[in-house]
Amino acid sequence: MTSEFTYQLKGQDGSARRGTITTARGTIQTPAFMPVGTAATVKGMLPETVRQTGAEILLGNTYHLMLRPGAELVAKLGGLHKFMNWSGPILTDSGGFQVMSLSKLRKITEEGVSFQSHIDGSRYNLTPERSMEIQALLGSDIQMVFDECTPHPATHEQAETSMELSMRWAKRSKAAFEKYHAPGQAAFGIVQGSVYEDLRRRSIEALTDLDFHGIAVGGLAVGEGQDVMFEVLDFTAPYLPKEKPRYLMGVGTPLDLLGAVERGIDMFDCVMPTRSGRHGQAFTFDGKMNLKNAQYKDDPEPLDPTSTCPAMRDYSKAYLHHLVRTGELLASMLISWANIHFYQTLMKQMRQAIEEQRFQSYAADFRARYQSK
């Protein structure tokens, strides 16, 4: 790979941004939603089907892939793209969030985190250097710094200590990225600081000095609620570098995406479309539908007769209800497909609304329809 990683801000409507990310493996139109391929697969979907939904980039998970099948093995087999048959860009998280969630199985030090595998209890050490080495072995196009995801709630003192540790780890991550990365790959910093404006600003200043290719907002969608998340974005986003892509990690619902785009965020990821699909919940422009409910037992209508997605257009709610209630694998496959397609359609519509300088009216119309039931 020799192509440089670039971001072009093509236009704004209010704070909402329309841009393009160029990577060695393809272009990403922003605002963009990244389906989550935790263990080298978007659960229940073929890579070519994911591509058909309009997805241009996937997320892979460092923690899960380092445990199984192992980063060295993936590298030996040609890298993550070849391993999972996905030719487009891939972003890998650092493993920090998953490790932090193992509260009873891990120990944090200045050096990094030691933890027990949730699979077999084996001991591992994950440091900023090892995280970046693993991501380089996987061959991802965008690599995230290793950080501590500050738990919620946290006092100002706790959040400050956590944020400062993350910034020291970010500096080490950047140095390791420079050592291990291939041409055309990019590294993103992660803003921490919990719900405190002064800490978020200090974090942004530290990451800006390190000159990452992009910047993410971490430590949200961890139980603080949508109102608080938006409040944090309100005082955080204006200080983020305008010339670099902005990524809100682990978010979220359709209304979360809409509100975050309004506040100037460019990139998102979340397991919600596929996780909801596995539980019989479908997202549509008329709201979220729980297809387990008896009201759909004899409903002959599809999820969306106007959709270009076969899963949304060609199967009745009655049939999907039947599949869910009988535990058929096809239920999660079809509903996950429909949900990923819905998310990609939502992002496409938001991009178009920003281009046409009508984002606020689009957002109002979407909310009114989505929440009407």
Say how far apart CA 247 and CA 221 lie, in whole Å.
Answer: 13
Question: Are 130 and 115 a contacting pair, CB within 8 Å?
Answer: no
Catalytic residue among 93, 141, 147, 304: 93
Handedness of CA 145, 146, 149, 150 (dihedral sign): negative
Pairing of strands 287-290, 281-284: antiparallel
What is the spatial distance between Cα 311 and Cα 197, in angstroms, rounded to a whole number? 43
d(CA 237, CA 222): 18
Q: Are residues 174 and 284 in the same domain?
A: no
Examine residue 116 and state whether it is found in any structural domain, yes or no: no
Query: Residue 259 sits in a domain of what CATH number?
Result: 3.20.20.105
β-bridge mates for residue 339, sequence order: none
Given the residues 141, 256, 269, 304, the one annotated as active site = 269
Q: Would you call 277 helix, strand, or coil by DSSP?
A: helix
Question: What is the percent of the chain with per-residue pLDDT over 90, rounded to a whole number?
Answer: 93
Digit-coded pLDDT (tens) for 168-200: 999 999 999 999 999 999 999 999 999 999 999
Q: Give Cα separations from 274 to 45, 50, 115, 159, 329 (angstroms).
A: 9, 11, 28, 32, 13
The pLDDT tens digits of the residues spanning 325-373 come to 999 999 999 999 999 999 999 999 999 999 999 999 999 999 999 999 7
Q: What is the pTM of this model?
A: 0.97
Same domain for 247 and 153: yes
Handedness of CA 176, 179, 180, 185 (dihedral sign): positive
Query: CB count, 10 Å around CB of 10?
Result: 13
- Residue 96's identity, in one-letter code, is G
Q: Are residues 257 and 366 in the same domain?
A: no
Residue pLDDT, tens place only, 276-309? 999 999 999 999 999 999 999 999 999 999 999 9
Is 286 annotated as catalytic?
A: no
241, exposed or middle or buried, with CB in 10 Å at 0-12, 13-18, 19+? middle
Average pLDDT, the chain: 96
Is 89's pLDDT higher than 70? Answer: yes
Where does a domain end: 236, 270, 304? 270
Instruction: Determine the residue type at 99.
Output: V
Q: Which pLDDT band holds residue 2 (cuts at 50, 70, 90)?
A: low
Determine the Cα–Cα distance for residues 182 and 143; give it in Å rounded to an integer.
11
- DSSP letter for each residue of 102-142: -TTTEEE-SS-EEEE-TTT--EEEE-HHHHHHHHHHHT-SE
For residue 14, what pLDDT is reported?
Answer: 98
> Is residue 7, in this structure, part of any structural domain at all?
no
Residues of the chain above pLDDT 70, percent: 99
167 confidence band (pLDDT: 50, 70, 90): very high
CA–centroid distance for 275 within its chain: 14
* C-alpha span between 15 and 18 (Å, rounded): 10
**Are 176 and 247 in a shared domain?**
yes
- pLDDT tier for residue 30 given thresholds of 50, 70 and 90: very high
* Structural domain count, the chain: 2
The C-alpha angle 118, 121, 126, rounded to 5 degrees, equals 75
Query: Predicted confidence band at 1 (pLDDT cuts at 50, 70, 90)?
Result: very low
Same domain? 306 vs 223: no
What local confidence, expressed as pLDDT, does residue 34 receive? 98
Determine the average pLDDT of the residues in 246-265: 98
Mean pLDDT of 123-130: 94
Residues 159 and 65 in one domain: yes
Within a domain: 105: no
Domain boundary among 241, 270, 299: 270
Residues 88, 205 within the same domain: yes
Residue 202 domain boundaries: 57-99+129-270
Examine the residue annotation and report whether 269 is marked as an active-site residue of this protein: yes
What is the structure's pLDDT at 97?
85
Spell out the residues 6+ positions from residue 41 whose beta carbon is closer than 8 angstroms to its own: 84
In terms of Cβ atoms closer than 10 Å to its own Cβ (0-12, 13-18, 19+), residue 87 is exposed
Using the structure block, give the residue that is written with the tokens 């780890």: 169
What number is the average pLDDT over the span 213-226? 96
